[in-house]
Structure 1
Amino acid sequence: MRKLSRNNLIFTCFLTAVSYANLSAQNAEININQDEKISKLLELKTEMSEGNKIGDRYKIQLFYGDNKEASEVFKDYESKYTYPAMIDYETPNYKVYVGNFRNRLEADRALREIKENFPGAFIPKPKRR
């Protein structure tokens, strides 16, 4: 019995030494050299995404008319829904837009919900910029 435990101790020490050698061999450093233009492009894309300047997005148009009515529609919409809304001026009228949807399916789902209170709402074709 005594010999068996001594063999176990030797085996355990051997495994520990091998594991330590293996772990120390895997400590390596990686250096990544990145072009400066990549970080500038990422910053530009972030700015464009925040300002909704990237095209091919779907929006729902709720209203087209004068400023006073557009403000009323905007306030009425915001009291009922959580999708982001904005008033856009295109000479000579104001338009109330809702959302910034990535695809037509998302826009259609929101439109079906919004049409209950705004039956004239529709999805205009997205503009390419």
Structure 2
Amino acid sequence: MKSHTTFKLFVISLLAIMFSESILAQQGTVNVQQDSKIPQLLSLKKNLEKENKLSDGYTIQLYYGELSKANSIIKKYRGIYGTWPASIEYETPNYKVWVGNFGSRLDADRALMEIQKNFQSAFILKPERRK
């Protein structure tokens, strides 16, 4: 008789716990308010990373010297390749033509093998991060 009462008490307790959790459960919504400049900043960061401005990776240098020659080199490069972005960087008093933004040395080496078919003096460098 005692075990029958204990069993009933156990079942009633179990049912009470199950129903109380479903009654006390809360539902809500989350409203996120974000500054309107966040998408602009993310876009700016993405563009800076494309141009090697924030990267700690590797790049390939095609040329170092005067601006007119740098412009002709980058024009020639863009006519041949579209895979990797190219830019002209200025370091007093010379201009550099840089290609790519490679996260690893292996990726840079693979690209260099392809690029050296048309630009024999190209080489890999790891630019210092700009402050």
TM bucket (normalised to shorter chain) is 0.5 to 0.7
Question: Tell me, which stretches of 5 or more residues in structure 1 are unaligned?
Answer: 1-27
User: 2:127 is matched with which residue?
Assistant: 126
Once residues 54 and 30 of structure 2 are traced to their aligned partners in structure 1, the CA distance between those partners, rounded to angstroms, is 30
**Where do 1:8-27 residues align within 5 Å?**
none
Worse-superposed segment, 94-103 or 40-49: 40-49
Once residues 93 and 107 of structure 2 are traced to their aligned partners in structure 1, the CA distance between those partners, rounded to angstroms, is 30
Deviation at 1:64, TM superposition (A): 0.2
Once residues 40 and 87 of structure 2 are traced to their aligned partners in structure 1, the CA distance between those partners, rounded to angstroms, is 24
Is the contact between residue 57 and residue 126 of structure 2 (CA under 8 Å) also seen in structure 1? no
- Computed over aligned residues only, the root mean square deviation of the Cα atoms, in angstroms, reads 2.6
Once residues 65 and 57 of structure 1 are traced to their aligned partners in structure 2, the CA distance between those partners, rounded to angstroms, is 23
Work out the number of aligned pairs and report it: 101
Is the contact between residue 58 and residue 124 of structure 2 (CA under 8 Å) also seen in structure 1? yes
> What secondary structure does 1:47 align onto?
helix
Distance 1:35 1:90, change over 3 A: same
1:50 aligns with 2:79: no
Worse-superposed segment, 109-118 or 46-55: 46-55
Deviation at 1:123, TM superposition (A): 1.1
Describe the superposition over 1:35-82 as per-residue Cα deviations: whole angstroms up to 9, x where unpaired: 858x87775344222123323122110000101111111111111111
**Where do 1:100-111 residues align within 5 Å?**
100-111=101-112
Once residues 30 and 60 of structure 1 are traced to their aligned partners in structure 2, the CA distance between those partners, rounded to angstroms, is 53
- Runs of 4+ in structure 1 off by over 4 angstroms are 33-37, 39-43
Once residues 34 and 76 of structure 2 are traced to their aligned partners in structure 1, the CA distance between those partners, rounded to angstroms, is 47
User: 2:29 is matched with which residue?
Assistant: 31
Describe the superposition over 1:90-110 as per-residue Cα deviations: whole angstroms up to 9, x where unpaired: 110110011112222211111
TM-score normalised to the size of structure 1?
0.64
Identity %: 49
Question: Tell me, which stretches of 5 or more residues in structure 2 are unaligned?
Answer: 1-25
Deviation at 1:30, TM superposition (A): 5.2
User: 1:65 is matched with which residue?
Assistant: 65
> What secondary structure does 2:123 align onto?
coil
Once residues 110 and 30 of structure 1 are traced to their aligned partners in structure 2, the CA distance between those partners, rounded to angstroms, is 52
